[in-house]
């Protein structure tokens, strides 16, 4: 049995690619220097996999920003406005990813969306009516040749044609159907070129196959591959799926002439039963995704080997694989010097997962693997009791009743009371919470962490920043203020640190989008709040102003979704434990005079099951009540806000209204305000602040632009329900652009108020 890696992380163990790219964006290094960093990283990553004995290693899984964007560029799917900038290739690419404002022109970035059920974000390619879809880029072949030169035979990875067609936005009159033939030809040419290069295997990633597929979609998939595969010649095609099972297309999929099919046995609830029921063809290789590419817990060898044995008995030729790209887990445990071994011994990051693949491959080849030391060691680990239980937490949760999930009085009544109490102007302006995390802010936190400054020095610095931030907002003329979140490294880690049950890593970074990485905490045990977390900062900030200071918290669903969850208890139970911890904080803020509290649920959608039929029972039925549990105890006059990012939540509107917040702000500027129609359609009751500009770009929006956006919003949202705000926190932005943007935002709100 051989081993395969679906994809490897690319940002670098110590985030080398992030730092090099950011230097390049600041014009501190040349394009050549950035490309050189990329080359070194690729070499390192290939060698790690090779030295770990992997049989199928990917190339073209490396990316300077995003793989979907790479695939778009490979097929010349570059909107005209970026071509017209007349930039070098690399800069055109970055203009699509990040927007561009300067001598060459002024364009916004392409939209960005969450990659299926992960916290990774991909760039949404745009197809215009005159987009000339054809094979054009050469990154794939350059990387293949680069690996070959190092003596490593790789399988290039490309987003598959079906998933690509599904993910693109069609901005003109043409539809997906109109573009299918051109896409087919482009992929045929791709396969022909693979033949010229004598590439043995090519991997097409088709995660869209794990979504619900109707007959028309099934037919489209068949049509595409019936047309593309004959061009493969001597190259073998691996059709790789992940994040679920392919129940709607399985029977058709196995009939197509793929040389290999990659299926996810971790998240694919029905993967195994599909194989049992319909069989798996003898002439194909099954790439069995049994080593979890998304979570950090060690693989339980006994269970994995059971599946491998069963597949073997069925006579299926199996390659052992990761369940998805290892992009979603950190690199290595090697840099974790602080966590005791009793914890570390339960984890496997990307490099350790390679080790697992290798050990499993070895065990599978042994007559009786139960006699092997590695098997016995693994069994011992899983037999051992972890110190993760807290009886008090369990008891408290068991005492929660139905009425704890309901806030009274009903929202319309509260809205009246709050309007009277706050006396805000029409179209109140606010921000999402964080302000620029400048060098001094990060340095202050780092120094405190390292013990280089005392707690009171640390606090004094943050108070100074808060005071400046409050003055800045007053001067700008914002209505509802924030303290700036200078004390937070990360919106989840910060809360986790004051809650029991969490573990933290030092270097376990995972790419979220582009150069942005996150370091998710690990939920090790039962969760509870140890002490008040944000109260002192918020109370201090409120003391500096007569305006209303918003308290700023992260919600339970997001805390769970941005952590590595436990696998020994249900997600539901973990979320509810966290909800009670957040509830304690909400009530403490209120008790201390904070009248507006924002509970961010940036990641609400992330663990939403990919199949609609699973939404309610497997997720919404507990995720939404968990949010309500955090705020059901507050007074009617206390206003609860929530915030969501990249929420393609058009289809989730009723569930979001059901969170029973008073106000919601969300990302909208990068998705052309499509969501507004659905708000209207569903009589959305929550007041809304659809972001009026994109904070993921350094670009400054003009007053007119913001006024335009507000006008559009007003065609769908009642005036007395509309808030004005950026679409997310400002922590990744620099001060000058933030200052200019917020000024324009306030000016736009004022203009709209005057229009009456
Ligand atoms: N309050 C957080 C901030 O402003 C929200 C961030 C987010 O939604 N990702 O940074
Ligand atoms: Zn956000």
Q: Are residues 315 and 421 in the same domain?
A: no
Give the H or E element holding residue 596: strand 596-600
Q: Which candidate, 336, 328, 293, 298, places its Cα nearest to that of 507?
A: 336
- Residue 672 pLDDT > 80, yes or no? no
Q: Are residues 329 and 431 in the same domain?
A: no
pLDDT tens by residue, 523-554: 999 999 999 999 999 999 999 999 999 999 99
pLDDT tens by residue, 414-426: 999 999 999 999 9
- Residue 671 pLDDT > 80, yes or no? no
Question: What is the number of alpha carbons within 13 Å of residue 740 lying toward its C-beta?
Answer: 10
Q: Are residues 672 and 597 in the same domain?
A: yes
Give the residue whose CA is nearest to atom 8 of ligand 1: 602
Q: Are residues 326 and 418 in the same domain?
A: no
- The position carrying tokens 């966290």 is 578
Tell whether 187 is covered by a domain. yes
Atom of ligand 1 nearest to the CA of 488: 10
pLDDT, mean of residues 630-656: 90
C-alpha 643 – ligand 2 centre gap (Å): 6
Tell whether 295 is covered by a domain. yes
The pTM is what? 0.93
pLDDT tens by residue, 713-750: 999 999 999 999 999 999 999 999 999 999 999 999 99
Identify which of 485, 555, 670, 733 to mutate to test ligand 1's pocket (most ligand atoms within 8 A of the CB): 485
Structure tokens at 269: 């609830």
Question: For residues 430 and 479, what is the distance between their CA atoms, to the nearest angstrom?
Answer: 6
Atom of ligand 1 nearest to the CA of 433: 4
Structure tokens at 84: 């017209």
- Residue 372 pLDDT > 90, yes or no? yes
User: Phi and psi (nearest 5°) for 10?
Assistant: -125, -10
Using pLDDT thresholds of 50, 70 and 90, give the confidence band for residue 408. very high
Atom of ligand 1 nearest to the CA of 432: 4
Last residue of a domain, one of 383, 399, 425: 383
C-alpha 644 – ligand 1 centre gap (Å): 8
- Counting the structural domains of the chain, the total is 2
Question: For residues 523 and 67, what is the distance between their CA atoms, to the nearest angstrom?
Answer: 29
Q: Is 336 helix (H, G, I), strand (E, B) or coil?
A: coil
- Ligand number, closest to the Cα atom of 691: 2
Q: Are 87 and 95 in contact (CB under 8 A)?
A: yes
Tell whether 725 is covered by a domain. yes
Q: Are residues 425 and 329 in the same domain?
A: no
Pairing of strands 236-240, 260-264: parallel
Using pLDDT thresholds of 50, 70 and 90, give the confidence band for residue 605. confident
Give the residue whose CA is nearest to atom 5 of ligand 1: 729
Tell whether 98 is covered by a domain. yes
Question: For residues 372 and 443, what is the distance between their CA atoms, to the nearest angstrom?
Answer: 49
Residue 427 burial (10 A CB sphere; 0-12, 13-18, 19+) = buried
Tell whether 452 is covered by a domain. no
Tell whether 232 is covered by a domain. yes
- Ligand number, closest to the Cα atom of 689: 2
C-alpha 280 – ligand 1 centre gap (Å): 46
pLDDT, mean of residues 73-102: 96
Question: For residues 222 and 239, what is the distance between their CA atoms, to the nearest angstrom?
Answer: 13
Using pLDDT thresholds of 50, 70 and 90, give the confidence band for residue 678. confident
Identify which of 488, 555, 602 to mutate to test ligand 1's pocket (most ligand atoms within 8 A of the CB): 602
Tell whether 442 is covered by a domain. no
Using pLDDT thresholds of 50, 70 and 90, give the confidence band for residue 102. confident
Question: For residues 278 and 275, what is the distance between their CA atoms, to the nearest angstrom?
Answer: 5
Q: Which residues are the active-site residues?
A: 696
Q: Are 136 and 219 in contact (CB under 8 A)?
A: no
- Ligand number, closest to the Cα atom of 430: 1
Q: Are residues 421 and 341 in the same domain?
A: no
Give the residue whose CA is nearest to atom 9 of ligand 1: 602
Q: Are residues 374 and 426 in the same domain?
A: no
- Ligand number, closest to the Cα atom of 484: 1
C-alpha 559 – ligand 2 centre gap (Å): 14
On average, the pLDDT of the chain sits at 96
C-alpha 602 – ligand 1 centre gap (Å): 7
- Residue 673 pLDDT > 70, yes or no? no
pLDDT, mean of residues 123-151: 97
Residue range(s) defining the domain that contains residue 40: 2-383
- Residue 118 pLDDT > 80, yes or no? yes
Q: Are residues 72 and 129 in the same domain?
A: yes
Q: Are residues 191 and 253 in the same domain?
A: yes
Question: Chain centroid to CA 541: how far?
Answer: 31
CATH number at residue 158: 3.20.20.210
pLDDT value, residue 647: 59
C-alpha 738 – ligand 2 centre gap (Å): 16
Ligand 1 site, CB within 6 A: 432-434, 485, 491, 552, 600, 602, 643, 645, 728-729, 731
| Distance, first Cα to last Cα, the chain | 72
Q: Are residues 222 and 290 in the same domain?
A: yes
> How many percent of the chain have pLDDT more than 70?
99
Question: For residues 360 and 300, what is the distance between their CA atoms, to the nearest angstrom?
Answer: 10
Q: Which candidate, 512, 519, 509, places its Cα nearest to that of 66?
A: 512
pLDDT value, residue 580: 98
Structure tokens at 200: 């043995």
Q: Are residues 423 and 316 in the same domain?
A: no
Give the residue whose CA is nearest to atom 6 of ligand 1: 729
Identify which of 112, 433, 520 to mutate to test ligand 1's pocket (most ligand atoms within 8 A of the CB): 433
C-alpha 583 – ligand 1 centre gap (Å): 19
Tell me the Ramachandran region of residue 85: left when phi exceeds 0, alpha when psi lies from -120 to 50, beta otherwise: alpha
C-alpha 405 – ligand 1 centre gap (Å): 25
Identify which of 437, 643, 647 to mutate to test ligand 1's pocket (most ligand atoms within 8 A of the CB): 643
Give the residue whose CA is nearest to atom 4 of ligand 1: 729
**Among 112-121, 186-195, 430-439, 454-463, which stretch is predicted with the lowest mean pLDDT?**
112-121
pLDDT value, residue 675: 83
pLDDT value, residue 674: 72
- Ligand number, closest to the Cα atom of 562: 1
Q: Are residues 317 and 422 in the same domain?
A: no
Q: Are 525 and 578 in contact (CB under 8 A)?
A: no
Report DSSP letters for 170-192, one per residue.
Answer: E-SS--HHHHHHHHHHHHHHHHH
Last residue of a domain, one of 383, 403, 428: 383
Atom of ligand 1 nearest to the CA of 728: 8
The angle formed by the CA atoms of residues 561, 567 and 571, to the nearest 5 degrees, is 45
- Residue 670 pLDDT > 70, yes or no? no
Tell whether 378 is covered by a domain. yes
Last residue of a domain, one of 383, 403, 429: 383
């Amino acid at each position: 049995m051989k081993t395969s890696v679906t994809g490897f992380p690319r940002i670098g163990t110590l985030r080398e690619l992030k730092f090099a790219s950011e230097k390049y964006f600041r014009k501190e290094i040349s394009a050549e220097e950035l490309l050189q960093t990329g080359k070194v990283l690729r070499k390192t990553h290939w060698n790690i996999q090779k030295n770990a004995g992997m049989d199928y290693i990917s190339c073209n899984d490396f990316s300077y920003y995003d793989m979907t964007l790479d695939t778009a560029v490979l097929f010349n799917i570059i909107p005209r406005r970026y071509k017209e900038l007349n930039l070098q290739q690399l800069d055109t690419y970055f203009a699509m990813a990040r927007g561009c404002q300067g001598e060459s022109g002024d364009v916004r970035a392409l939209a960005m969306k969450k990659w299926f059920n992960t916290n990774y974000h991909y760039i949404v390619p745009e197809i215009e009516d005159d987009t000339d879809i054809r094979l054009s880029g050469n990154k794939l072949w350059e990387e293949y040749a680069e690996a070959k030169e190092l003596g490593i035979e790789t399988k290039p990875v490309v987003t598959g044609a079906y998933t690509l067609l599904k993910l693109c936005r069609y901005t003109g009159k043409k539809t997906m159907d109109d573009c299918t033939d051109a896409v087919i030809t482009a992929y045929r040419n791709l396969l022909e070129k693979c033949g010229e290069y004598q590439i043995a295997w090519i991997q097409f990633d088709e995660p869209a196959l794990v979504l619900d597929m109707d007959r028309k979609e099934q037919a489209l998939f068949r049509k595409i591959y019936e047309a593309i595969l004959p061009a493969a010649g001597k190259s073998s095609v691996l059709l790789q799926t992940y994040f679920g099972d392919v129940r709607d297309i399985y029977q058709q999929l196995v009939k197509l002439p793929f040389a290999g099919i990659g299926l996810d046995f971790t998240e694919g609830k029905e993967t195994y039963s599909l194989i049992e029921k319909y069989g798996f063809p003898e002439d194909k290789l099954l790439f069995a995704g049994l080593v979890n590419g998304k979570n950090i817990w060690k693989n339980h060898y006994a269970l994995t080997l059971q599946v491998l044995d069963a597949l073997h008995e069925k006579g299926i030729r199996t390659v052992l694989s990761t369940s998805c790209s290892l992009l979603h887990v950190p690199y290595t445990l090697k840099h974790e010097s602080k966590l005791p071994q009793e914890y570390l011994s339960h984890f496997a990051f990307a490099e350790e997962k390679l080790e697992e693949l290798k050990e499993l491959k070895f065990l599978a080849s042994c007559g009786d693997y139960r006699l092997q030391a590695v098997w016995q060691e693994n069994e011992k680990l899983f037999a051992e009791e972890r110190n993760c239980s807290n009886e008090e937490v369990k008891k408290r949760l068991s005492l929660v009743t139905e009425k704890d999930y309901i806030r009274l009085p009903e929202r319309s009544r509260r809205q009246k009371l709050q309007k009277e109490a706050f006396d805000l102007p029409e179209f109140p302006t606010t921000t999402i919470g964080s302000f620029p995390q400048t060098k001094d802010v990060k340095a202050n936190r780092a120094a405190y962490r390292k013990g280089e400054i005392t707690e009171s020095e640390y606090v004094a610095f943050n108070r100074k920043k808060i005071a400046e931030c409050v003055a800045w907002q007053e001067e700008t003329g914002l209505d509802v203020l924030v303290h700036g979140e200078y004390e937070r490294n990360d919106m989840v880690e910060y809360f986790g640190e004051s809650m029991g049950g969490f573990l933290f890593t030092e270097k376990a970074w995972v790419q979220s989008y582009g150069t942005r990485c996150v370091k998710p905490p690990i939920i090790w045990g039962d969760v509870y709040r140890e002490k008040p977390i944000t109260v002192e900062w918020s109370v201090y900030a409120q003391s500096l102003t007569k305006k209303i200071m918003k308290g700023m918290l992260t919600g339970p669903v997001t805390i769970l979704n941005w952590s590595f969850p436990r696998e020994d208890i249900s997600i539901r139970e973990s979320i509810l434990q966290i909800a009670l911890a957040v509830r304690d904080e909400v009530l403490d803020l209120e008790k201390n005079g904070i009248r507006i509290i924002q509970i961010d649920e940036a990641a609400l959608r992330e663990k939403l099951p990919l199949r609609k039929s699973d939404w309610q029972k497997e997720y919404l039925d507990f995720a939404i009540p968990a949010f309500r549990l955090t705020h059901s105890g507050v007074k009617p006059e206390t206003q609860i806000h929530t915030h969501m990012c990249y929420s393609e939540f058009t289809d989730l509107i009723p569930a979001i209204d059901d969170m029973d917040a008073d106000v919601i702000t969300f990302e909208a500027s990068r998705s052309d305000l499509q969501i507004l129609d659905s708000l209207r359609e569903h009589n959305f009751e929550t007041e809304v602040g659809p972001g009026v500009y994109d904070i993921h770009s350094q670009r400054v929006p003009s007053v007119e632009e913001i006024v335009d956006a507000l006008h559009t919003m007003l065609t769908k949202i009642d005036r007395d329900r509309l808030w004005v705000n950026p679409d997310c926190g400002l922590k990744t932005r620099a001060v000058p652009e933030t200052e200019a943007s917020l000024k324009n935002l306030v000016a736009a709100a004022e203009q709209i108020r005057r229009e009456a």
